[in-house]
């Protein structure tokens, strides 16, 4: 996980963001080891004071806290040795939106080297939140993000697919259309609208017809079903006001950890129904609700601020 550090993005919510990040980290630490990445000095000390003693705080330079997007993506090498390899894609701050990003562009390699893992550098610009893998050869993504001209304008759709095949062990890519209209920062990341429950099963964001996201949510459902994937709809997308802004707080930007699922909630009337649907999809895991509104204001949720490392 990354500690909140870019103050201009958080404004008056920075203190609450830090508290909520610490809550997420401490919740996950009940089930698996957690490392929090923080800038040297004051920010690292703030993280140590806020998180439980079970959270290890490591001081490495970062620009932003969204380690899902800038951190290493781990795969198992297929040469028979079954060694852990960190794939380090290029990072350009979601199409150059937030400067500077040089520290985030390097953090994936630094984390992997600290863990003693082999690093595979890939020239493709790719954020971890823009892809979901079922671990069995299928990757979900959105055309809105991966084909966005601010990422890899020199590459065709087929070339981008081939890079996913070559570096993430994929055998097919299922392309959804768009993410949430409210997701302006990341250009439609898939991790705000879908969760892979198991190979061939997906939780999908849907909304009522009056919501402007309705048509492309429906199109995403049709694309998944056409690909032979079983869809369970999550028809709740709460909107909350944070720092004077109306924010869409997706329940699906959740984190699946060992024996648990950590789900962002807002305290609103749809929390119970959404948790029930998600809990039914993961009957063998404990459901842990954490505050989601302020992290959504920053641009994500528990999934966006975490990146798992296999044992």
Write out the two tokens for 217: 């949510």
What are residue 181's phi and psi, to 5 degrees?
-60, -30
- φ/ψ of 115, rounded to 5, equals -85, -5
Helix locations, the chain, DSSP H: 7-10, 14-28, 42-50, 67-70, 93-96, 102-114, 143-146, 157-168, 214-226, 271-281, 293-298
Find out whether 305 and 1 touch, Cβ atoms under 8 Å. yes
- 3-state SS, residue 292: coil
Please give the distance of CA 156 from its chain centroid, rounded to a whole number: 24
Measure the CA–CA gap between 259 and 90, rounded to whole angstroms. Answer: 32
The reply to whether 5 belongs to the active site is no
- Radius of gyration, CA atoms only, the chain: 18
Residue length of the chain = 311
Backbone angles phi, psi at 81, to 5 degrees: -80, -20
Taking Cα atoms as reference points, which of 299, 307, 303 lies closest to residue 93?
299
Strand, coil or helix: what is 308? coil
Structure tokens given for 244:
């004077």
Which position among 5, 51, 145, 304 bears the catalytic label? 304
DSSP character at residue 56: E
CB 303 within 8 A of CB 191: yes
C-alpha separations of 295 from 39, 220, 292 in Å:
19, 25, 6
Expressed in angstroms, the distance from the first to the final Cα of the chain is: 16
Q: Which are the catalytic amino acids? A: 304
């Amino acid at each position: 996980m990354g500690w909140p550090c870019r103050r201009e993005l958080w404004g008056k919510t920075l203190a609450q963001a830090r508290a909520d990040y610490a809550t997420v980290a401490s919740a996950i630490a009940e089930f698996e080891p957690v490392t929090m990445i923080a800038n040297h000095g004051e920010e690292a000390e703030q993280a140590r004071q806020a998180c439980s003693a079970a959270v290890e705080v490591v001081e490495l330079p970062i620009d932003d806290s969204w380690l899902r997007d800038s951190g290493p993506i781990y795969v198992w090498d297929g040469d028979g040795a079954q060694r852990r390899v960190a794939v380090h894609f290029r990072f350009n701050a979601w199409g150059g939106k937030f400067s500077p990003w040089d520290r985030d562009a390097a953090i994936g390699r630094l984390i992997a080297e600290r863990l003693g893992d082999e690093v595979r550098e890939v020239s493709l610009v790719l954020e971890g939140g823009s892809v979901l893998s079922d671990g069995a050869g299928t990757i979900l993504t959105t055309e809105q993000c991966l084909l966005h001209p601010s990422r890899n304008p020199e590459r065709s759709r087929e070339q981008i697919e081939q890079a996913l095949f070559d570096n993430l062990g994929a055998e097919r890519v299922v392309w959804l259309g768009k993410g949430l209209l409210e997701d302006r920062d990341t250009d439609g990341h898939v991790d705000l609208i879908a969760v892979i429950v198991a190979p061939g099963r997906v939780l999908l964001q849907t909304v009522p017809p009056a919501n402007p996201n309705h048509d492309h949510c429906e199109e995403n459902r049709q694309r998944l079903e056409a690909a032979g994937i079983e869809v369970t709809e999550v028809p709740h997308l709460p909107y909350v006001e944070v720092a004077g802004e109306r924010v869409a707080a997706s329940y699906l930007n959740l984190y699946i950890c060992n024996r648990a699922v950590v789900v962002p909630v807002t305290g609103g009337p749809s929390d119970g129904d959404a948790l029930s649907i998600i809990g039914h999809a993961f009957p063998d895991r404990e459901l842990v609700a954490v505050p989601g509104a302020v992290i959504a204001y920053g641009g994500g949720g528990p999934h966006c601020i975490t990146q798992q490392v296999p044992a």
